[in-house]
């Protein structure tokens, strides 16, 4: 048993040193970029990156552990030879990944994933000089030969002498040790498995965050997930698609100003799963959200508003980057793409806003952290920043505790501020900390009860905000990350499942009003920026809902289909089956327009 455990430990140290070495190699190769980092920041790339390194090492050790377990029953020289062959093959594969990444990062600006394979022969790949290629090949051979020599020197002597069988307890111990690798592989015991957001630590230097990424893990994970989904672009003629798309976003000459000041403080509340069906003024059930029902009469209510997707990760991007959801993927999971997108916070920072993000859950879930960090948020509060006893639900800290923290932070924030608050308590399993408002243990009752709790938390927060000195110069924008199948167990394609609230209240709101214009999540960015007299063409999927030339429409995406809405018109298209699931008052022109919108989105996604 002792010999097998020693080999396992040596292999762990061997591969961990390899992961650390290739990060140092990356820093050295990109020395001009590394010069922008301090010594402390370089060290931080190592300390933060070790978590992803451990995950990658776990995958490699899992196979070695199983082989050592099997050797307890069938010892012999085969184990020595098998481990050598596997190690050399893995070193070769890893070396190739490292070699390609070293140079491509200088051209592409993100760690290697499968995306560059769509551009072989062009761009960065086509610009690599023969001298660079020779240098990279030399690095590959040096790295592979060095670690092959270390393996033969430090580990092979022990595997070559392991010729005797072990006992049954030895086999069980090796199996247990291999099983424990689940924890470093997954990277956490929370709901968020390992992703690149785990290692992002720097708020202003993307290169530091990129360096912390384990490129081997990044590449293999990309290959496993099919990160390079290449969307089709043949729905309509490309030029015709762009022309039709442009007609959806005519430039407005003016907008309807609804704020009393040009630079109000902005609080953004993104409410988990809050479908319009729980808000009475939007045609929803009565009494589920009494506070929001009341606030709808105090501010600006958009009563014909739709989410872009069906998950929080998609909603966050649609709201903060004005970028539509995609059917097969979620762009937030791919930092190489999200770092090229505009972000609302970056536009507000140009106007002098101080920004922060508050969430009671795990901000590493679905790469939230990398997206927010790239977006320039100066402070991020998440579950780890709360006392451990408050982290009492599956997803983290319940909403009323989270709102209390947000209010506390606002007390010391300099104006103008932009604070984004993401709730979580109305997410499954709906285990909210209050006496049931609605009796019953069925999913719909639990969901509605959680919405009532979140509504109560929001109502208390708004009442406390109204007592603050900054209230008269503040707006609060409330919307949902996405809708929900309850109440009514709506189908995923059902447009009612995507209808959500958009409500703006606050002391800086000029008057209460209802806006009936058909719109969606991606339109929030330019509608808000137009109120500040700074709409941005960077948000190409965002229209000013209050503009004088607005075209009313909305689009939403699910699984592998999309819905497209025009006034009194609606269609749902199944991309896989290439058929319409629903059509209401739709003409051929409308169908072409919907397909043009999807094609422009697909083309834009493919190019990022």
- Active-site amino acid positions: 312
As a whole number of angstroms, the distance between CA 376 and CA 67 comes to 47
CA distances in angstroms from 73 to 67, 167, 168, 235, 307, listed in the order given: 10, 8, 8, 59, 58
534 phi, psi to nearest 5 deg: -140, 50
d(CA 484, CA 464): 29
For residue 45, say whether it is annotated as part of any ligand binding site: no
- Residue 4: phi and psi, rounded to 5, are -70, -40
CB 207: neighbour CB atoms within 10 A? 18
Q: Alpha helix locations (H) across 180-311?
A: 182-186, 206-212, 215-225, 238-247, 290-295
- Rounded Cα distance, 338 and 366, in Å: 13
Q: Tokens 């922060």 sit at which residue?
A: 356
Cis before residue 487, ω within 30 degrees of 0?
yes
**Among candidates 19, 34, 51, 7, which has minimal Cα distance to 183?**
51
Pairwise CA distance, residues 293 & 222, whole Å? 44
Question: Is residue 90 within 8 Å of 60, Cβ to Cβ?
Answer: yes
Q: Which of 108, 82, 63 is nearest to 219 (CA)?
A: 108
- Tokens 């965050």 found at: 209
CA 21, distance to chain mean position in Å, is: 29
Which residues does residue 565 pair with via DSSP β-bridges, in sequence order?
554, 570
Q: Which residue has the tokens 């455990």?
A: 5
Give DSSP secondary structure letters for 389-458. GG--SSSSS-HHHHHHHHHHHHTTPPSSEEEEEE--TTSTT---SS--SS---SHHHHHHHHHHHHHHHH
Question: CA nearest 476: which of 545, 556, 407?
Answer: 407
Q: What is the pairing mode between strands 354-359 and 417-422? A: parallel
82 is in an annotated binding site: no
Backbone angles phi, psi at 358, to 5 degrees: -125, 130
CA–CA gap between residue 410 and residue 469 (Å, rounded): 11
Residue 294 CA to residue 456 CA, distance in Å, equals 12
Q: Is 499 helix (H, G, I), strand (E, B) or coil?
A: strand
Q: Residue 502 CB: number of other CB atoms within 10 A?
A: 27
Report whether 272 belongs to an annotated binding site.
Answer: yes
User: Using CA atoms, how far apart are residues 598 and 88, in angstroms rounded to an integer?
Assistant: 46
Sequence-distant (≥ 6) Cβ neighbours of residue 147 within 8 angstroms: 14, 18, 91
Alpha helices in 248-398 (DSSP H): 290-295, 312-320, 335-338, 344-350, 368-374
Is 101 annotated among the ligand-binding residues?
no
Q: Is 114 annotated as a binding residue?
A: no
d(CA 514, CA 503): 9
Helix (H, G, I), strand (E, B) or coil at 511: coil
Token couple for 296: 């709808």
What is the C-alpha to C-alpha distance for residues 198 and 192, in angstroms, rounded to an integer?
Answer: 9
Question: If DSSP codes are grouped into helix, strand and coil, which group holds residue 549?
Answer: coil
Q: Are 397 and 425 in contact (CB under 8 A)?
A: no
Which segments are annotated as binding site for substrate?
427
Which segments are annotated as binding site for Mn(2+)?
272, 312, 481-482
Which segments are annotated as binding site?
272, 312, 427, 481-482
């Amino acid at each position: 048993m002792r010999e097998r455990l020693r080999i396992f430990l040596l292999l762990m140290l061997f591969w961990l040193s390899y992961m650390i070495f290739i990060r140092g190699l990356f820093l050295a190769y990109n020395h001009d970029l590394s010069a922008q980092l301090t010594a402390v920041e370089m060290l931080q790339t190592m300390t933060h990156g070790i978590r992803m390194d451990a995950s990658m090492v776990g995958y490699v050790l899992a196979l070695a552990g199983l082989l050592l377990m099997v050797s307890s029953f069938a010892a012999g020289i085969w184990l020595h030879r098998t481990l050598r062959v596997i190690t050399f093959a893995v070193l070769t594969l890893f070396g190739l990944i490292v070699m390609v990444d070293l140079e491509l990062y200088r051209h592409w600006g993100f760690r290697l994933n499968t995306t560059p394979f769509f551009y072989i022969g062009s761009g960065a790949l086509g610009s690599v000089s023969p001298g660079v290629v020779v240098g990279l090949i030399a690095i590959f051979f040096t790295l592979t030969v060095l670690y092959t020599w270390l393996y033969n020197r430090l580990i092979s002597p022990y595997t070559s002498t392991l010729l005797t069988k072990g006992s049954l307890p030895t086999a069980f111990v090796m199996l247990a040790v291999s099983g424990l690798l689940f924890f470093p592989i997954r990277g956490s015991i929370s709901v968020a498995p390992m992703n690149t957001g785990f290692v992002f630590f720097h708020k202003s230097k993307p290169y530091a965050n990129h360096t912390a990424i384990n490129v081997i893990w990044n590449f293999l994970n990309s290959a496993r997930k099919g990160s390079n989904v290449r969307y089709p672009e043949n729905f309509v003629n490309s030029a015709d698609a762009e022309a039709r798309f442009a007609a959806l976003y005519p430039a407005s000459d003016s907008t309807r100003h609804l704020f009393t000041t040009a630079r109000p403080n902005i609080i953004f509340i993104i409410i988990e799963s809050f479908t319009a069906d729980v808000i009475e003024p939007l045609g929803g059930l009565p009494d589920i959200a009494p506070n929001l029902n009341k606030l709808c009469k105090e501010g600006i209510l958009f009563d014909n508003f739709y989410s872009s997707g069906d998950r929080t990760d998609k909603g966050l991007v649609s709201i903060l980057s004005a970028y539509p959801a995609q059917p097969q993927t979620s762009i937030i999971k791919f930092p190489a793409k999200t770092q090229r997108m505009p972000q609302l916070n970056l536009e507000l920072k140009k106007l002098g806003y101080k920004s922060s993000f508050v969430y009671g859950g795990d901000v590493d879930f679905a790469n939230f952290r990398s997206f927010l960090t790239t977006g320039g948020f100066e402070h991020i509060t998440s579950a780890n920043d709360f006392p451990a006893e408050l982290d009492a639900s599956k997803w983290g800290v319940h909403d009323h505790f989270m709102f209390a923290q947000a209010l506390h932070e606002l007390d010391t924030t300099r104006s103008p501020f932009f604070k984004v608050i993401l709730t979580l308590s109305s997410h499954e399993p709906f285990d909210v900390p209050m006496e049931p408002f609605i009796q019953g243990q069925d999913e719909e009752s639990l969901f509605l009860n959680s919405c009532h709790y979140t509504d109560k938390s929001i109502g208390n927060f708004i009442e406390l905000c109204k007592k603050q000195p900054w209230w008269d110069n503040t707006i609060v924008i409330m919307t949902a990350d996405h809708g929900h199948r309850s109440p009514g167990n709506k189908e995923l394609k059902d447009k009612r499942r995507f209808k959500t609230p958009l409500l703006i209240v606050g002391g800086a709101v000029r008057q209460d009003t209802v806006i009936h214009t058909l719109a969606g999540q991606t339109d929030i960015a330019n509608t808000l920026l137009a109120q500040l007299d700074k709409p941005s063409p960077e948000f190409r999927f965002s229209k000013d809902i209050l503009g004088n030339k607005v075209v009313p429409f909305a689009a939403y995406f699910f699984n592998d289909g999309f819905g497209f809405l025009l006034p009194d018109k609606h269609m749902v298209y199944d991309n896989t089956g290439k058929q319409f699931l629903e059509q209401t008052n739709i003409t051929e022109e409308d169908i072409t327009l919907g397909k043009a919108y999807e094609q422009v989105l697909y083309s834009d996604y493919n190019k990022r």
